Amino acid sequence: MMKVILVIIMVFFWTMLIYYSLLTIAGVIQRIKHKTILHLNQYPSVAVFVPAYNEGVVIKNTLDSMVALKYSGELNIYILDDQSTDDTAEIVKEYSRTFSQIHYLLVPNSDVKGKSSVLNYGLSVTDSEYFLVFDGDNQPEENAVMELVHAAETTKKSAGAVGYVKTINADSNLLTRMIALEFQVFQLLMQSGRWGLLRTGSLAGTNMLLRRSVLEDLGGYDPYALAEDAELTIRVAAKGLLLPVVHHARTWEQEPEKLRNLIRQRTRWLTGNLYLLEKSFQEWKFWKGRTIVHSLHHLMTYFLFVIFLFISNLWFYLGLFGIAMPNVDTPLLILWFMSYIVYTGQLFSAMVLEDTLTPKNIVVGIIMYFTYAQLFLILLFKSIFQFVSARMRKKTIKWDKTTRHRQGAG
C-alpha cells in the first residue's frame, strides 16, 4: 500500500514537471508570434475602473497614465474612491475638473468591504459596453486599452481580454527584483502558454477587460471572494467563454518592497484560491469544459501538491529516524534536479522574451529556486491555517490592501 502511494506521488510530481515544461515551451512560442496590426470599423465604449483606497502616494502617476491612454472610441475613467482618508479624493478631483474623461466616484459604505464591492458599485453607476480594471497604483501603457479591445472584439466567444502586469519598482531591492521575475514567468509566460496550448486565460485582477453583459449574466463580482479575479475566471470559463491573453497590453504596477507586505498580500491571494478550491468541491460547474483546467490547477497546486509534499517529507524523516519504510527504485535526485531546471528554465525564458537578461537577473534567477520559491510553501501553510481557523470560527476573512510606496523613494 505504502509503495503504491509513493509511486502515485512520484507520478504526480513528474506530471507537474512535464506540464509546466510544456506550458513554458507553449508560452515562448506564443510570445514570439508576430503581432498583427488591427483596426476596427467601430470601437465599443469602455469604462476604466480604478478602485482606490488611500492611494495618495501613487494616484498622481496613475492619473497621468490614464490621461495618456489612447483609444479610438468612447473612453471614460472612473476613480472609485472607497472612503479614502488621505488626499486621494483631492488629487482625483483636481484631475476630474481639468480632464473630461476623468470622473471621481465616492463609493458608499457597504457591509462587505473590498475590491469586489467597489467594482460592483462602479458597474451599477456606469453603462459602457466594456469595462476595464486597473489597480490604484497602475500605470498602463498608452495602447493598453486599444490592444485589449482588439483582442476581445476579434476572438470568438470572448468575455473580454487580459493584459500583462509589469513591475515598476523591480530595481528597488532584491525582493522586488524576484517578484518582477516571478511575474514575468507566471503572469506572462504561463498565461501565454495556457492560452496558446489550452485556450484558457486567467483574469489578473488588473489590466483586464470584460464585457459588461457577461458580468451582468454572471451576477456581478462575488463580494466574499478575496481573489476576485481567480473566482471570476472560473465563472467565465464555466459559461464557455474565452479570455484571450494579450501580452503587448501592458500596465506597470508597484510590488511590495518589504517581505512583511509581500507575505500579507500573498496570504490573501492564496486564501482566495483556497476559497475557490472549497467552492470547486461543492459545485459541479467547476469541472465542466475549460473550467476543468482552472479547477485542476487549483486542485494540483493547493491540495494535492501540499498533501504529497507532506507525505514525502514524512517518509524522508521517518527513514532518517530508522523506521523501516518500503523502498521504491526511483530517481529522486534527478526529480529534484529537473524541478530546478524547469523552474530556472522558466525564469530564463521570461528574461529572454522580456529583454531583461542582465547579469544581475541571471544571478537572481539561479538562486530563486532555493530562496523565493520556498516562500510559497510557508505562505501556503499560513493561508491554510488562516482559512481553516476562519472557517471554524465562522468568520469572514477581511480584505487586506497592499501597501503602496512613493515612486522613486526606493
Given the rule CB under 8 A, which residues bind other proteins?
14, 17-18, 21, 24-25, 28-29, 32, 329-334, 337-338, 341-342, 345, 348-349, 352-353
Q: Which of 112, 166, 157, 113 is nearest to 137 (CA)?
A: 166
> Do 2 and 326 touch, CB atoms closer than 8 A?
yes
Tell me the closest approach of the beta carbon of residue 28 to other proteins, in angstroms.
5
C-alpha cell at 331: 530517481
Fill in the amino acid letter for 261. N
Residue matched to cell numbers 517581505? 259
Q: Residue 52: which H helix or E strand, with range? A: strand 46-52
Q: Which of 64, 66, 32 is nearest to 49 (CA)?
A: 66
Tell me the closest approach of the beta carbon of residue 331 to other proteins, in angstroms.
5
Q: Give counts: helices (H), strands (E), the chain.
A: 15, 8
- Residue 136 or 193 having the CB closest to other proteins: 193
CA torsion through residues 128, 131, 135, 141, sign: negative
Three-state SS sequence of 200-212? CCCCCCCCEEEEH
- Residue 333 or 392 having the CB closest to other proteins: 333
> Do 364 and 181 touch, CB atoms closer than 8 A?
yes
Tell me the closest approach of the beta carbon of residue 369 to other proteins, in angstroms.
14
- Residue 259 or 366 having the CB closest to other proteins: 366
- Residue 352 or 377 having the CB closest to other proteins: 352
- Residue 140 or 345 having the CB closest to other proteins: 345
Tell me the closest approach of the beta carbon of residue 51 to other proteins, in angstroms.
36
Tell me the closest approach of the beta carbon of residue 105 to other proteins, in angstroms.
43
Which residues does 190 contact at the CB level (< 8 Å), separation at least 6? Answer: 20, 23, 24, 27, 346
- Residue 25 or 375 having the CB closest to other proteins: 25
Tell me the closest approach of the beta carbon of residue 7 to other proteins, in angstroms.
13
Tell me the closest approach of the beta carbon of residue 20 to other proteins, in angstroms.
10
- Residue 24 or 120 having the CB closest to other proteins: 24
Query: What end-to-end distance do the CA atoms of the chain give, in Å?
Result: 55
Helix (H, G, I), strand (E, B) or coil at 31: helix
Compute the distance between CA of residue 336 and CA of residue 340 in angstroms, rounded to an integer.
6
